[in-house]
Amino acid sequence: MNQFKLAQKFILSALVGLTVMGTGCSAGYEDPLPRTDRLHWPVGLTVHPNGRFLYVVNSNFDTRYREDSGGTISVIDLATQKLLDGQGPYIPSFGANIKLNADASKAYVTARLNNQLLVLDVAENGSAISCEGSSDSRDCALRRVPNVSGAPFIPTDPFGLAVATDVLGGELVIEAAAAGEWRLEAAGGFATYVADETDTEATIAAGLAGSLGLEADQNIITLGAGTFNVRAPEGGEFASDIDSVDIIGLSHLRSTNLTSISIRGDLSTATMRSAEFVEGSNAVALRPGTRDFYAAGRFTRDVAVFQPYLEPVQGSVQALIDRGRVTLNGFPGSAIDARAIAFEPDGQTLYVVTRNPDALHVVELLPTNLETGAGVGHRVTKAITLNDQPSDIVRVERQGKVLLYIPCFEGRSIQVVDPAIGAVVAEVELGEKPYFFAADPRGMRGYVSLFEDLARSGGRCDDYLEEPCGSVGVIDLDPASPRYHRLIRKLY
């Protein structure tokens, strides 16, 4: 992969908070519309990094409401366990996954109706999601690259979603502007550091600090999302934004395509490329420390690996590079029906959840050339039997202990796998069919979408009932709690 050659200056500035309007019913929408203080057929969910707010995608699966705006994103205050009415937008029907970018300023949502990716804004404190500058979230829907004649559309049925925030690399320069501020100067000029694709923010920070004769852990603090805090030796503190780009990987349920989209801030900057890789891909994940996306499909025995090539100045997606396949089943023509995929943070272990068989496949990544460390090979080391129809996998680490949480749709439970011993060590009984799982940043609570939970609606949903369709189950993940690994409440 080519090194990035973009030269960027970091201008020291205060971080500016994002202003987001709450989204309620407006003149742009027509009935029938769903209530925004109720769940209805919940699917994807994620927790804000501050641990205070949970976001849930409601799919309008039974098309009870308008197709073009019958879904919603629910914002739940986890401190009060209440849905915040009007703090999430209406969205198209058949919404699926939701992911936040690295600094949680953007929320990306796949919607299968009309094949869309929603690019939404998150309030600085996490309390609302909206389409900034508009009361209509359709203004933040991406179906094709904007302002380009003949641009292709997003392929059929976008479902799986992975988001990475990357620095546009090259020669990185930090520069102080105003008199009296700490000027980051080395002998002969400003401190510089030339980065390539192997660099992390930590190594960039270390290089910059070294140029100034400073210690990175004392004077330069990495915050993620391309942001450094730079602390003067006397204690003054400034902030500096690196030019960054969100890279989105999409998988498609009814297509052989995979898609990569780049966005630098707002929707007008979007670029996109799609290519044929794997049939019926349900899930996609980014290998940590790389730009390699791994996509698993329902109708194949392979996991496809692809890498978007970004133009180094503007960060536009120029091509998708085929990085090979990981074969999980040795029988030609067989389909593993993969449903979820995840990595260990070091990128050396890959987990793939399948329904044919119902199993967790553990894949070790290792160099193809052991002497030089070059190349990437894959070896399936374990296949752990699971309950009926697993649908997701989430890694949770707490106090050095790693566990994998795997909802099983027909099994009506969450199975808990200890990867250190390669076995199921616990099971959380739910009594309902779970879909996706999320955990709070501290690993104290888990949240699972119970797609078909009709307990509050008398076993049915129709226009005459005010009760919700579906729920979110709250799971106790605290080993010190007497309710450890139990369903402790439901949110509606």
DSSP character string of 420-443: TTTEEEEEEE-SS-EEEEEE-TTS
- Whole-number Å distance between alpha carbons of 372 and 136: 54
CB 88 within 8 A of CB 72: yes
- Phi then psi for 262, rounded to 5 degrees? -115, 140
pLDDT score of 465:
58
User: Comparing C-alpha atoms, which of 435, 467, 470, 474 is closest to residue 58?
Assistant: 470
- Whole-number Å distance between alpha carbons of 386 and 374: 35
Which residues neighbour 178 within 8 Å (Cβ) at sequence distance 6 or greater? none
CB 255 within 8 A of CB 155: yes
Give the global pTM.
0.80
Q: How far is CA 61 from CA 92, 111, 430, in A?
A: 11, 12, 21
pLDDT score of 369:
82
pLDDT score of 76:
98
CB 158 within 8 A of CB 259: yes
Which residues neighbour 79 within 8 Å (Cβ) at sequence distance 6 or greater? 52
Q: Give me the residue label for tokens 């500058």.
A: 133
- Whole-number Å distance between alpha carbons of 328 and 335: 10
User: CA end-to-end span of the chain, whole Å?
Assistant: 47
- Whole-number Å distance between alpha carbons of 335 and 327: 11
Which residues neighbour 188 within 8 Å (Cβ) at sequence distance 6 or greater? none
From first to last of its 492 residues, the chain has per-residue pLDDT tens of: 322 222 222 222 222 222 233 333 444 667 788 888 889 999 999 999 999 999 999 999 888 888 888 999 999 999 999 999 999 999 999 999 999 999 999 999 999 999 999 999 999 999 999 998 888 888 999 999 887 777 889 999 999 999 998 865 433 334 333 332 323 333 233 444 555 556 665 666 666 566 555 555 544 444 343 444 444 344 333 334 446 799 999 999 999 999 999 999 888 899 999 999 999 999 999 999 899 999 999 999 999 999 999 887 678 999 999 999 999 987 777 899 999 999 999 999 999 999 999 999 999 999 888 777 778 999 999 999 999 999 999 999 998 999 999 999 999 999 999 999 999 999 999 999 999 999 999 999 999 999 989 867 666 666 555 667 899 999 999 999 999 999 999 999
Q: Give me the residue label for tokens 């500096």.
A: 240
Q: How far is CA 336 from CA 227, 229, 340, 455, in A?
A: 40, 46, 11, 33
pLDDT score of 469:
85
Domain boundaries, the chain: 169-241
- DSSP state letter for 202: H
